[in-house]
């Protein structure tokens, strides 16, 4: 092998290491931003409602149900099934909205890349 080839090969390895180092720093920065975004999601809430707002379910940005409110007017001991349906509908809507919120927040960090298991 010639000295010129060895010098080129050594320079190529060095450049590869520099590119990998830069990529690792970018990944670490992205990971820190994602951690902050995850923490912020815990403090955000969304509301799902049903029955014209008679039943309201609130969930945080992680999809955890944080509260349910039910108007007295919708409580009928003779029609418990209707109340169950309204509660279920409001809870499902709040969880759906929570997922949408999380996706919107995280998509900005990933540049639109769909990274499985990320959110």
Please report which confidence band the pLDDT of residue 85 belongs to, taking 50, 70 and 90 as the band edges.
very high
Give the closest residue to 101 by CA, choosing from 26, 50, 41, 51: 41
Residues paired with 46 in a beta bridge: 59
3-state secondary structure of 111: coil
**Number of alpha carbons in the 13 Å side-chain half-sphere of residue 111:** 2
Note the CATH architecture for domain 14-110. Answer: 2-Layer Sandwich (3.30)
Per-residue model confidence (pLDDT) at position 14: 73
Whole-number Å distance between alpha carbons of 70 and 106: 32
Please indicate, yes or no, whether the overall pTM of this predicted structure exceeds 0.85.
no
Structure tokens given for 117: 């298991």
pLDDT, average across residues 8-30: 75
pLDDT in tens, 51-82: 999 999 999 988 899 999 999 999 999 999 99
């Amino acid at each position: 092998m010639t000295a010129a080839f060895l010098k080129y090969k050594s320079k190529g390895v060095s450049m590869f290491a520099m590119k990998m180092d830069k990529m690792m720093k970018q990944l670490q920065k992205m990971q820190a931003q994602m951690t902050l975004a995850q923490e912020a999601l815990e403090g955000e809430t969304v509301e799902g409602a049903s029955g014209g707002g008679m039943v309201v379910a609130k969930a945080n940005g992680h999809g955890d149900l944080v509260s349910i409110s039910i108007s007295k007017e919708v409580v009928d001991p003779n029609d418990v099934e209707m109340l169950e349906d309204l509660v279920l509908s409001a809870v499902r809507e709040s969880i759906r909205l929570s997922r949408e919120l999380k996706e919107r927040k995280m998509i900005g960090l990933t540049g639109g890349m769909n990274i499985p298991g990320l959110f």
